[in-house]
Amino acid sequence: MKMIIDKLFDRVEHYGNVCIGLDTATDYIPEAIKAEKENVEDTLFEFNRRIIEATKDITACYKVQIAYYEAQGLKGLQAYARTVSYIRELKIPVIGDVKRGDIAKTAQMYAKAHFSGDFEVDAITVNPYLGTDTLEPYYDYLRQGKAIFVLLKTSNPGSGTVQNILSKEGKTVYETLGEKLIDEGKQHMGNNGFSSICTVVGCTHAKEGKRLRQQMPNTFFLIPGYGAQGGKAQDLTGYLMNGNGGIVNSSRGIILAYRRNNPDNLPFDEASRRAAIKMRDRINQAVRRNG
């Protein structure tokens, strides 16, 4: 059995650091697709499928934000299930961005829901700010090769309200949590030197990200905030180790590229491919220049 953390490492080595976020709202979808499909499930899935097919050879993985599908009811959740299943059939890692954060039996049910059955993915995002016992119910699945991405230092402007609070020892909440994740992660190491307990560290906080990388050399990072939230390629150099150790997510910057920067009037899937290549190349250039 090959652990998903090792598959992610290998995908980054071969295809670069880009993680495409399929945060697909219905108003992002071209009218032509809406006209040809009979319902929201087929519409969402077809948009996603075409972007996946256009980018599968230039991306490390995909991240699917479940809220966009939950907002469309049962048909939306069916589109979510079809999307993650389609990606897994291509043998490409897929992260369910579900941000679950509960304890005991409830967390066990969240783990079962997203690591098996209709919604099965390779990794999920989890929120530990109810306490580190929120993570324990996922560990059985880590031993089966899955991974979790634990929210640590997030990209939103208000993250410091809680995450930057100082303890009496002078450490921030996120630094203290990082230390605990290092200890827990030692029990779930992959063959490439990274743990299946991964973290989310936004690239809008470059100084904090660099410090966390130094603190957590064996922790794989999911790095949101690139593009639409203001993160730039040069901000990422402190987050990566020889170009690996992290994936950089862009959602709207890629799936809405056909609207935002498309002077050649490319179809939406081709515009997404061009945007993903541009992002990949910028990251590669920044890492080489500063590596």
- Domain range summary for the chain, segments of one domain joined by +: 4-286
Q: Which residue has the tokens 């490409």?
A: 92
Three-class SS state of 102: coil
Residue 242 has phi, psi (to 5 degrees) of 55, 35
Average pLDDT over residues 165-178: 88
Residue 291, pLDDT > 60, answer no
Alpha helices in 188-267 (DSSP H): 206-215, 252-255, 257-260
Say which range, 10-19, 60-69, 121-130, 255-264, has the weakest mean pLDDT.
Answer: 255-264
- pLDDT score recorded for residue 13: 96
Q: Do 48 and 76 contact (CB within 8 A), yes or no?
A: no
pLDDT reading at 289 higher than 50: no
Name beta bridge partners: 18: 248
Each residue's pLDDT tens digit, 175-194: 999 999 999 999 999 999 99
Is the pLDDT confidence value at 266 over 50?
Answer: yes
* Best CATH choice for the domain 4-286 from the list 3.20.20.70, 1.20.1250.20, 3.40.50.1100, 3.10.310.10: 3.20.20.70
Amino acid letter, residue 231: G
Over residues 234-262, the mean pLDDT reads 91
Residue 89 · residue 121 · CB < 8 Å: no
pLDDT value, residue 229: 60
pLDDT of 57 above 60 = yes
Enumerate the active-site residues.
99
Phi, psi dihedral angles at 252 (to 5 degrees) = -60, -35
Angle, CA of 138, 99 and 108, to the nearest 5° = 30
- 47-63 burial, b at 16+ Cβ within 10 Å, e below that, comes to bbebbbebbbebbbbbb
Mean pLDDT of 275-291: 83
The three-class DSSP label of residue 249 is strand
What per-residue confidence (pLDDT) applies to 206?
A: 86
The region that residue 133 occupies, defined by phi over 0 for left and psi between -120 and 50 for alpha, beta otherwise, is alpha
CA neighbor of 23 nearest in space, from 262, 249, 291: 249
The answer to whether 63 and 19 have CB atoms below 8 angstroms apart is yes
The most confident of 129-133, 142-146, 241-245, 256-260, by mean pLDDT: 142-146
Question: Using one digit for the tens of pLDDT, what is the confidence trace for 189-235?
Answer: 999 999 999 999 998 888 889 999 999 999 999 999 886 666 678 88
